[in-house]
Structure 1
Amino acid sequence: MYFSMLITPKFGDIDGLGHVNNTVMPGWFEQARNMIYRCFNPELNFSDWNLILARFEVDFVKQLYFNQEVEIRTYISHIGNSSLEVYQEAWQNDQRCTKGKTVLVHFDFKKQKSIPISPDIRAKLETYLHHSDQVMV
């Protein structure tokens, strides 16, 4: 199971060759992670924010184009004690065009240290857990 979000590329997302610019994908992937952020912070309240981005990588597999919807699929690929790995794909015209991984850390900003993921949050995340052999890497 995965979270799905549709994006219609806008004019400013496109480069001189008519492709979605490579700088756009990290932002689209971040936007699609909102459903994961809500597992930790349902109101997306910045005064209670409890996640930090530790790492991200993006692989460009095929070109994405203007004027065609893009589906962002978001999976949980690993849940650790205080961190999780998110795997994402961008699909256009039934083809996987971009893939990426992000590591998020459950974090206490007042104490400036990572904190364990609670059983309640873990249960929500496990609904979207896919092992690496199930997710096209």
Structure 2
Amino acid sequence: MFELQLTPRFMETDALGHINNTVIPVWFEEGRTPIFELFVPTLDLKRWNLILAKISVDFVAQIYYGSPVLIQTSISKIGNSSFEVAQQVVQDDKVVAQGLAVMVHFDYEHQRAAPIPTDIRTKMTEHLQLA
């Protein structure tokens, strides 16, 4: 499991003083960076080989400004060319949001999904956590 601690910024609040619901997918994307690095260690966009096929977010509880959050990220399923990333936001020891992203290893030159290479699949398996 990968973990990233963030401090919510004032600009991320809404009119009610909570963290705006549009912020969570941004936090989740940042939490997926270690997974991106499994595929493109330098994060060089000219060598990028991933696409985001789907995301979903469940808002479990209100998230507040002024208290750090922990983004927890793990791989929950590995297919031939795609994989699922399970994520959650924890604040004050309570899960406040959960999400799932479907990522696809992609060949941009041929514009199609490509099998996940064996060496990357091996690294991914180290972070596999089944639900």
Q: Identify the TM-score tier after normalising by the shorter chain.
A: over 0.9
Unaligned segments of structure 1, at least 5 residues: 133-137
**Structure-2 residue corresponding to 1:26:** 25
> Could you tell me how far 1:78 is from its partner in structure 2?
0.1
Number of aligned positions between the proteins: 131
Q: TM-score, normalised by structure 1?
A: 0.95
Residues 1:47 and 2:52 aligned together: no
Q: TM-score, normalised by structure 2?
A: 0.99
- The one-letter code matched in structure 2 to 1:93 is D
- The one-letter code matched in structure 2 to 1:119 is T
Q: Secondary structure at the match of 2:85?
A: strand
Instruction: Give CA-to-partner distance per residue, 1:64-98, whole Å, 9 cap, x none.
Output: 10010000000100000000000000000000000
- The one-letter code matched in structure 2 to 1:99 is Q
Residues 1:99 and 2:98 aligned together: yes
- The one-letter code matched in structure 1 to 2:6 is I
- The one-letter code matched in structure 2 to 1:118 is P
Question: CA–CA distance in 1 between the matches of 2:85 and 2:108?
Answer: 21
Question: CA–CA distance in 1 between the matches of 2:25 and 2:88?
Answer: 11
> Could you tell me how far 1:17 is from its partner in structure 2?
1.1
Q: Secondary structure at the match of 1:110?
A: coil
**Structure-1 residue corresponding to 2:35:** 36
Question: CA–CA distance in 1 between the matches of 2:118 and 2:87?
Answer: 24
Residues 1:118 and 2:117 aligned together: yes
Percent identity over the alignment is: 47
Question: CA–CA distance in 2 between the matches of 1:103 and 1:27?
Answer: 15
Q: Secondary structure at the match of 1:89?
A: strand
Question: CA–CA distance in 2 between the matches of 1:131 and 1:6?
Answer: 23
Instruction: Give CA-to-partner distance per residue, 1:26-57, whole Å, 9 cap, x none.
Output: 00000110000000000000001000000000
Question: CA–CA distance in 2 between the matches of 1:127 and 1:13?
Answer: 33
**Structure-2 residue corresponding to 1:4:** 3
- The one-letter code matched in structure 2 to 1:16 is A
Question: CA–CA distance in 2 between the matches of 1:99 and 1:16?
Answer: 23
Moved >4 Å (runs of 4+): none
Q: Pairwise CA RMSD of aligned residues? A: 0.5
- The one-letter code matched in structure 1 to 2:96 is C
